[in-house]
């Protein structure tokens, strides 16, 4: 029988972002190891080598899915997503980080700010991650002066991207030293300092307990003889075993019953906002479902085909294309875990929202999607974020 997850401290969702090879995955492993060894009574042992080793990732040799680990500090329980750094997998980062209450920006002391460092800071800002704590990694490879230079560089970069660069916590250290039990001043001590900063800089978000359930689907697994397990992060509401649910999105509508919930191999007594959970749902088939749909309380959500949004078009410098959206153009919309093609329609066909400006326009999805007033989304063309919007109206 599985252990039951005990809710004895606030739960916060964080993750690592930063340029490829700067040490995001190593740092994720280092934090897990440091927490397990510094606070063994609240952290069960985990094989941290498994982080990069999900079967699909082994095949491709690159982190293509955001992988989750959990650990506790003395104050909090964390769910940590290790975001992929490779630009081709930016799509995974968009949905992976959409549930981040804050992030750890990893930057190599040997390289300083690199293109994906900036891209991830910009993206974090766009998707509403308000708090970033910086870890200057690989301090075992450079001298003091270099670390100071990188610290100045990253503070400027954060400020340029709309974060509070002057006051952000910047902790120098080495993830590899923690893993290899070397140089504790930049290994273990630095990791503990980093987590102290995370504890104090990233506030516990307000959770909506009183609303109907909404959990966007991140991944799906079939467990023979038991049913379909749906993983994701609970955005709002609570749910219990036996509750009826609907699964909506991509023009589909299914009904099922919650038959069990887990988090990190522990049983959950109920689903709560912020939980990173696996939910066993009876009455649906794995084949019918896909990432980007959402589990909701029956009748609480009506998927939308057409929405109005206030959209901001990014300039070249902000990482955009520097061009306005085309009237009647087709663009990919990313919201929660979904991506879906939508037609972009100006209110007046002569209108154009120029880079650096914002305005209202309509979006018509290919099929009805779970998107509501107040939801934030990004518009992307290929690998580039063209704009970022907030839904101002849902048309019936
Ligand atoms: P990611 O792409 O950002 O996830 O980077 P990885 O965690 O996969 O690390 C990339 C490479 O940097 C690996 O070879 C790591 O062993 C190495 N690395 C990570 N942290 C450190 C460190 O603190 N010092 C040194 N010297 N190498 C490190
Ligand atoms: Mg990695």
Verify whether ligand 1 is closer than 6 Å to residue 176 (CB atom): yes
Residue 381's pLDDT is: 87
Residue nearest to atom 26 of ligand 1 (CA): 138
21 lines ligand 1 (CB under 6 A): yes
Distances, alpha carbon 352 to alpha carbons 12, 110, 196, 361, in Å: 40, 43, 47, 10
The pLDDT value given to residue 188? 98
Helix (H, G, I), strand (E, B) or coil at 331: strand
φ, ψ for residue 297, nearest 5 deg: -65, 140
Low-confidence ranges of the chain (pLDDT < 50): 48-64, 86-89
Strands (E), 40-146: 67-72, 77-82, 103-108, 132-137
Q: What are phi and psi of 199, to 5 degrees?
A: -55, -40
From the CA of 28, give the closest atom in ligand 1. 7
| Best residue for ligand 1 mutational test, from 16, 17, 21, 103 (most atoms within 8 Å of Cβ) | 21
Integer Cα distance of 129 and 125 in angstroms: 6
Q: Closest ligand 1 atom, CA of 186?
A: 23
86 an active-site residue? yes
| ipTM value | 0.99
Q: Are 273 and 209 in contact (CB under 8 A)?
A: yes
Vertex 357: Cα angle to 352 and 361 (nearest 5): 50
Query: Which residue in 25, 73, 97, 231 is the catalytic one?
Result: 25
Whole-angstrom distance, CA of residue 104 vs CA of residue 154: 13
Closest ligand 1 atom to residue 19 Cα is 3
24 is catalytic: yes
Q: Does the beta carbon of 138 lie inside 6 Å of ligand 1? A: yes
How many other C-beta atoms can be found within 10 angstroms of the C-beta atom of residue 152?
Answer: 13
Which pLDDT value is given to residue 52? 46
The protein residue with its alpha carbon nearest to ligand 1, atom 2, reads 21
Position 1 scores a pLDDT of 66
User: How far apart are the C-alpha atoms of 122 and 385, rounded to whole Å?
Assistant: 10
């Amino acid at each position: 029988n599985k252990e039951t997850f005990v809710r004895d401290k606030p739960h916060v969702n964080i993750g690592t972002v930063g340029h490829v090879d700067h040490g995001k995955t190593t740092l994720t492993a280092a934090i897990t190891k440091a927490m397990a060894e510094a606070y063994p009574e609240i952290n069960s042992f985990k094989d941290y080598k498994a982080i990069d080793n999900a079967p699909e990732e082994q095949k491709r040799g690159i982190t293509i899915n955001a992988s989750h680990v959990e650990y506790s500090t003395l104050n909090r329980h964390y769910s940590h997503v290790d975001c992929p750094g490779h630009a081709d997998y930016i799509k995974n980062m968009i949905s992976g980080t959409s549930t981040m209450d804050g992030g750890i920006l990893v930057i190599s002391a040997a390289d300083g700010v690199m293109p994906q460092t900036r891209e991830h800071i910009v993206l974090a800002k766009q998707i509403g991650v308000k708090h970033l704590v910086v870890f200057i990694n690989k301090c075992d490879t450079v001298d003091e002066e270099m670390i100071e230079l990188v610290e100045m560089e990253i503070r400027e970069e954060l400020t340029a991207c709309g974060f509070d660069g002057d006051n952000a916590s910047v902790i120098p250290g080495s993830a590899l030293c923690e893993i290899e039990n070397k140089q504790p001043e930049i290994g273990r001590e630095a990791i503990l300092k980093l987590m102290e900063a995370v504890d104090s800089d990233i506030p516990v978000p307000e959770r909506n307990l009183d609303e109907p359930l909404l959990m966007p689907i991140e991944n799906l697994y079939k467990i023979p003889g038991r049913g379909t397990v749906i993983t994701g992060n609970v955005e709002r509401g609570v749910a219990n075993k036996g509750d009826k649910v609907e699964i909506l999105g991509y023009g589909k509508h299914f009904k099922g019953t919650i038959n069990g919930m887990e988090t990190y191999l522990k049983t959950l007594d109920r689903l709560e906002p912020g939980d990173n959970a696996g939910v066993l749902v009876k009455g649906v088939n794995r084949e019918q479902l896909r990432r980007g749909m959402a589990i909701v309380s029956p009748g609480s959500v009506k998927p939308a085909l057409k929405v109005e949004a206030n959209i901001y078009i990014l300039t070249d410098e902000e990482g955009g294309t520097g061009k306005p959206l085309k009237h009647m153009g087709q663009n990919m919309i990313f919201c929660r875990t979904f991506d879906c093609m939508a037609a972009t329609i100006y209110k007046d066909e002569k209108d154009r929202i120029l880079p650096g400006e914002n305005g209202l326009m309509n979006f018509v999805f290919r099929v009805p999607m779970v998107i509501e007033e107040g939801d934030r989304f990004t518009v992307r063309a290929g690998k580039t974020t063209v704009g970022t919007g907030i839904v101002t109206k849902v048309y019936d």
